Amino acid sequence: MGILRKLLGRNKDKKAKGAYTANAYVYNGKDKAAAEYEYHIINEADYALMDELKAKYIAIDIETTGFSKFTDRIIELGAVKIENGTITDTFQTFINPLMHIPQEASKINHITDKMVAFAPVEKAALKKFLEFIGDAMNEGTILVAHNAYFDLEFIKRAMERCGYSGKVRVVDTLYIARRYVKGVENHKQTTVAEHFGISITNAHRAADDARVCGQMLAHMIPLLEDVLKKQEKKDEKRQITEEEYETCAVLLSLLAKYGADMKNIKLYKNSGSYIDVCYHNASIVRFKYMKKGSCIILPSNTETPPALVTEPCTKTEGGELYKRLFYKNPLSLTYLANHIGREYESAKHRVVHNIYEQNDDKMQKYIKEMSPADIEKYIASAKSKEIV
C-alpha cells in the first residue's frame, strides 16, 4: 500500500522527506548504505505525465510480516499492467520470508506460514517481479501504489539485499486521494475504491489490492487533468501584460540610472495580480493594474504630485502605513527616482538567499527579467501613449 504531493504540493507525510528537482517534487529512496536502487515518487503532474499514465502504468502492492522495513519481510507481491485504462496482465507471487509470520500479520492479510512454505525465496520472487515490470526498473513505465512509501521502502531493501539495481518512478494514489477526492470519511484504499464504485474481492491481498489501486488511478486521472486546466488559467492571469511591462520598464530605467545591480533585478507577478520589482527576492516597489486604474503602492508619507490621485491601501496592501498612487502613464512615475533608490538600498538588506532554489520552478515560472533592449522598447511604447 502507499505517496502525488501537489500536482500536487508539499507532502505532509512526516515519513517522507522530499528533495526538489525540476518540474517535480521527488522523494529519493537512495540511502548511504546501499545506493543501487532508487525510487522517485512523482508529486507534480503535467500533461505529458497524464498522457503517459493514460497509455500505460503498472500498479503494485505488497503484503508483509509486519510494519518494520528493517526487520520484517515481504510475503506477497502483486502487480497489474493497465494500458489505455484496461488491465492487460496480472502478476502474483508468495515469498518465503524464511521467518515466522506473526499472528497479527496473518489476521490482516490471511497469509500463513503454511501458504508460503514452498514459495520462492526473496531473490527468486523478485526476479519474476522484475521480469513482469520490465522497463519500469529503468525509469520507463510508471509504477503506482497506495501509500507508496511503505511499499517502495520494503521493495528497496529487498532489492538491495538481493543485489538488484535500478531506478523507478512512482505515482501515489494516497496523496492524490487526500488532495482531490472529497466527501469520503478517510482515504484508505477500500474507502476510496468504494467512492469510485470499484469492487473489492480480496482486500489485503497483493494482487487484488494492486488491481484496485490501478483502477482508482484511472478514476483519478480526469481529476488531475481538471486541476491542470485550472492551473493553466491561473498561470495565464499571472503573465505580465504589455501595459504592465511599460511600467516595469520605467521603474527599471530609474534603477539603472541609480546604479543598481541590474542582473539581479527581477519581476514577479503574484496571484493577486500585483507586480513586484525585486532585488533578488526582496521587493523594491509594487504596482497593480486594476479596473479603476493603475496604481503604485507607496509609504503613506511619500510626497506625491497634487495632480495624481491617491487613496489609502487595503489591509492586505499594508493598511494605513501605505497608499495607492494612481497614474495614467508610467512616465509620470519618473519623479520617484529618489524613492526607488532608497527602496533599492533597503531591499539589499532584506534578501533571503536561495528562496528561488527552495521554491524551484513553482515560483521560477512567475519570475521575469528585462534586458536593456526590452526596457528601451517598452519606454518607447509608453512615450507613444503619453498624454500631452
| Element at 324 (helix H, strand E) | strand 322-327
Residue 169 DSSP code: E
Choose the catalytic residue: 204, 219, 280, 339.
204
- Rounded to whole angstroms, the Cα distance separating 91 from 128 reads 9
Which residue from 37, 2, 3, 43 is spatially nearest to 21, judged by alpha carbons? 43
Which residue from 89, 94, 95, 26 is spatially nearest to 59, judged by alpha carbons? 89
Question: Exposed, middle or buried, 230 (CB in 10 Å: 0-12/13-18/19+)?
Answer: exposed
110 is catalytic: no
Residue 98 DSSP code: S
Neighbouring C-alpha atoms within 13 Å toward the C-beta of 9: 11
Distances (CA, A) of 283 to 159, 351, 371: 50, 9, 19
Query: Could you count the other beta carbons within 10 Å of the beta carbon of residue 300?
Result: 13
Query: Could you count the other beta carbons within 10 Å of the beta carbon of residue 34?
Result: 14
All three cell numbers of 153, joined, read 521502502
Angle in degrees, CA 319, 322, 324, rounded to 5: 105
- Rounded to whole angstroms, the Cα distance separating 253 from 233 reads 31
Which residue from 25, 62, 60 is spatially nearest to 43, judged by alpha carbons? 25
Mark 136-174 as b/e (b = at least 16 C-beta within 10 Å): bbeebbbbbbbbbbbbbbbbbbbbbebebebbbbbbbbb
How is 192-230 classified by DSSP, letter by letter?
Answer: HHHHTT---SSTT-HHHHHHHHHHHHHHHHHHHHHHHHH
Report the DSSP pairing between strands 143-145 and 56-64.
Answer: parallel
- Rounded to whole angstroms, the Cα distance separating 211 from 378 reads 57
Q: Write out the catalytic residue numbers.
A: 204
